[in-house]
Structures are given as C-alpha cells and as structure tokens.
Structure 1
Amino acid sequence: MNTRAGGVIGEQAACEYILKKRGMHILRRNYSCRVGEIDIIALDKGCVVFIEVKSRESESFGRGAEAVTRAKRRKIVRAAQMYLMSHHMEECDVRFDVIDILRGEAEYLENAFDMNDL
C-alpha cells in the first residue's frame, strides 16, 4: 500500500474513532490553506479540536506521533489560526490532538501540543 492510500485509510479510521468512541462532531476533513493543512477539525463540547493523524504499519521509522515535529506543529497551528479567523471562531477554546495509528490500532493523544510549544 502506498503512503497516500495508507493515509486516507488512517484518516477514515480516525474519523470513525472520533465519532464512535469520543463523541465529537467532525467539522472538516483535509483543511488546507496557504500556510499548512489539518487532517481533521472537530468540535468537542464547545472546544475546537485540530487533529493530526499519523498512520504506520510498523515502528521501523518510529511511531507516527514522533513524526509531528516542531516544524509540523508550527504549520498546524498557523493553519488552525487561519481556520479560526476565516470562520469567526477566534474566541473559541482550542486543542491540538494527535491520533497515532499503528497496524490499525489507534492511540489518541489529547492535548498533544499547544500554541506555546512552538
């Protein structure tokens, strides 16, 4: 399976996990703007949650969450700021989560980073 196909399958599994296990409402998938992209944007009890999904079939190159580097976090935060501004949601509470999928098993990392971790 190629990387893109694996990513799509991982994101679909993540969406199902978010909806069924966490009770969140998905606002947007694959949001992209000039400063970055966000895999999933969801609403969790009034908090806007920006979620990065990393899917791997093995740990040969480390866990997926380890690939969310400082540079990647910076891009996610900038894209989140653009999303919030364009949707007039600047005053909303926000959270940045990561879903690390290894061989189909999801580990949900709530508050994986915040805007001050950059």
Structure 2
Amino acid sequence: MQAKANDTTTVRGREAEDRAARYLERGGLRLIERNFRIRGGEIDLICRDGKGLVFVEVRQRSRSDFGGAGASITAGKRRRIVLAAQHYLLGKADCDCRFDCVLIDGEQLEWIKHAFSADD
C-alpha cells in the first residue's frame, strides 16, 4: 500500500516538473537537465538563460493547509539546493547563475526569479 502512495507522489511531482519546464521554456529559458542529484541535495530543473544558468526548485501543493508551496521551501531545503548547484558547477566554466522557484498551488503557477541566493 505504501508503494502506491509513493508512486502517486512521484507521478504528481513529475507532472509538476513537466508543467514548470513548459512554462519556463515559454518564458525564454532552455531546459538542459532534470533531477540533478548528489548525496545531500537535488535540483529539479537546470536551465540556461542566455549565458547564465538557472537552478529551479519546483514545489506543488494541492491545498494550502500548511502554508502553500512557497512555505515548503525551508532554509534546509535551500541549503541542499545550493550544495547540489555547487557540485554541478565544479569543473565548469565560470558563469552567472541564479536560484528560481516555480510554485504551483492548485491550478495557480508562479515563477519567482532570484528566489534566494547561495548566501541565504
């Protein structure tokens, strides 16, 4: 029974990331990688915006009982995203980068550019 709940969560997460990726591409970004994982962190979407990189966290909530999608991006979550971004950038040419969030609350989608920084 537990596996089925996890499968449903995985499917919903994938659908949210697909929706976010389409939205970002319409907004001028180019998707270059999905679900970049390291031990201790993950980045949902990595996009190119001109010459810069954009690390995107996608959060979806169907209900706002616990503060909505934005409230679920805690300081610990931000640190794990930054850690993964630092690993991604190792050995790559120096480039500008930023951290964006795509928040999906029910049918409402919000793209927050420069949502946080590596120093937060």
Global fold match (TM > 0.5): yes
Q: Which residue of 2 aligns with 1:92?
A: 95
The amino acid of 1:50's aligned partner reads F
CA distance in 2, matches of 1:55, 1:40: 14
CA distance in 2, matches of 1:76, 1:44: 18
CA distance in 2, matches of 1:61, 1:106: 17
Structure number with bigger Rg: 2
Q: Deviations over 1:48-95 (max 9, x none)?
A: 000000011111111111111110000000100000115x13x11010
Measured on the aligned residues, the alpha-carbon RMSD in Å equals 1.3
TM score, norm. by length of structure 2: 0.89
TM score, norm. by length of structure 1: 0.90
Large movers: runs of 4+ above 3 Å: none
CA distance in 2, matches of 1:77, 1:84: 10
CA distance in 2, matches of 1:69, 1:47: 25
Aligned residues: 114
SS in 1 for 2:90: helix
Selected match of 2:30 from 22, 25, 34: 25
CA distance in 1, matches of 2:106, 2:45: 20
Q: Which residue of 1 aligns with 2:21?
A: 15
Sequence identity (%)? 38
Is the aligned partner of 1:43 residue 2:67? no
What is the Cα deviation at residue 3 of structure 1?
A: 2.4
